[in-house]
Amino acid sequence: MIQMKLTTAAIVAAGLGLTACTDPATIGTPGSKTQNGALIGGLIGAGVGAAANDSDRGLGAVTGALVGAAAGSVIGNQLDAQERELRQSISNDGISIVNTGDRLIVSLPNDLTFATDSAAVSPAVRSDLNKVASSLVRYPNSQVQVIGHTDSDGDAGYNQGLSERRANAVADQIQAGGVPYNRVQIIGRGESQPVASNLTAEGKARNRRVEIVVIPQGA
């Protein structure tokens, strides 16, 4: 029975993957994550369907995959649209936007957003944060994590507190722009999650950041 469940899910996943890879409208389209969302949703749906339907696990897997793929495609379309709008509206080249297929990550470098040891948001990025907030209001079916990060210079406990204060400051900005408080989770990571080496000035600058992570909650 386990072998049949895995085989069915694998066939469904292969079909979904083939569809995504052979769609001529999306081959070579940079930033498009709709097919990835459909494939992820299909794989999850296949597993859920197979586990939930004891009488016909194969049929449950197929049904779950189709439902999951449809939901994943909707989420992928939403993320693609929101990503395009943000790229068009944000004017500061220092702010990066990454679409992973299941979430958007808007990264604000701390050297642009804050003065040294400060948690007061710079006027230089307030306009862009207001645009991010407007986007979040237009796309209400998501949760938002605001995550602060530092480099490894100084005391780890101080860095933890600074990352929390900076995340709070950015969260205050987007909440002031109309994003409800219950959609926003504020997290401080301190120096624990670097994206570059802390042995160079360039790496440290990349590690000092606040990330706004947009996580769709389904269609």
pLDDT tens column, 109-128: 999 999 999 999 999 999 99
Cβ contact 144:213 at 8 Å: yes
Q: Is residue 10 one of the residues assigned to a domain?
A: no
Q: Is residue 82 one of the residues assigned to a domain?
A: yes
pLDDT of residue 75: 84
Per-residue pLDDT reduced to its tens digit, 115-161: 999 999 999 999 999 999 999 999 999 999 999 999 999 999 999 99
Of 41, 67, 88, the last residue of a domain is 88
Going across the sheet that includes 142-149, the strands are: 96-99, 104-109, 209-216, 142-149, 184-188
pLDDT of residue 45: 54
Q: Is residue 11 one of the residues assigned to a domain?
A: no
pTM recorded for the entire structure: 0.71
Band (pLDDT 50/70/90 cuts) for residue 74 is confident
Pairing of strands 104-109, 96-99: antiparallel
Q: Are residues 156 and 185 in the same domain?
A: yes
pLDDT of residue 71: 54
104: left (phi over 0), alpha (psi -120 to 50) or beta: beta
Q: Provide the residue range defining the domain that includes 173.
A: 93-214
Q: Are residues 140 and 200 in the same domain?
A: yes
pLDDT of residue 76: 86
Question: What does the pLDDT average to over 48-72?
Answer: 54
3-class DSSP assignment, residue 180? coil
Q: Is 96 exposed, middle or buried (0-12, 13-18, 19+ CB in 10 A)?
A: middle
Q: Are residues 71 and 147 in the same domain?
A: no
How many domains does the chain fold into? 2
The enclosing domain of 142 has a CATH number of: 3.30.1330.60
What is the C-alpha separation between 15 and 35, in angstroms, rounded? 12
Band (pLDDT 50/70/90 cuts) for residue 55 is low
Q: Are residues 104 and 203 in the same domain?
A: yes
Q: Are residues 204 and 107 in the same domain?
A: yes
Across 23-27, 76-80, 126-130, 184-188, least confident range: 23-27
Q: Is residue 100 one of the residues assigned to a domain?
A: yes
pLDDT of residue 60: 56
Closest CA to 148 of 158, 157, 160: 160
Q: Are residues 43 and 97 in the same domain?
A: no
Q: Are residues 57 and 123 in the same domain?
A: no
Amino acid at 54: D
Q: Are residues 135 and 202 in the same domain?
A: yes
Q: Are residues 104 and 78 in the same domain?
A: no
Q: Are residues 42 and 146 in the same domain?
A: no
Q: Is residue 12 one of the residues assigned to a domain?
A: no
- Look at 71 and 155; give whichever has higher pLDDT: 155
What is the C-alpha separation between 72 and 80, in angstroms, rounded? 12
Of 88, 107, 131, the last residue of a domain is 88
Contacts of 20 (CB under 8 A, 6+ apart): 26, 35, 36, 38, 39
3-class DSSP assignment, residue 75? helix
Closest CA to 81 of 94, 97, 93, 65: 97
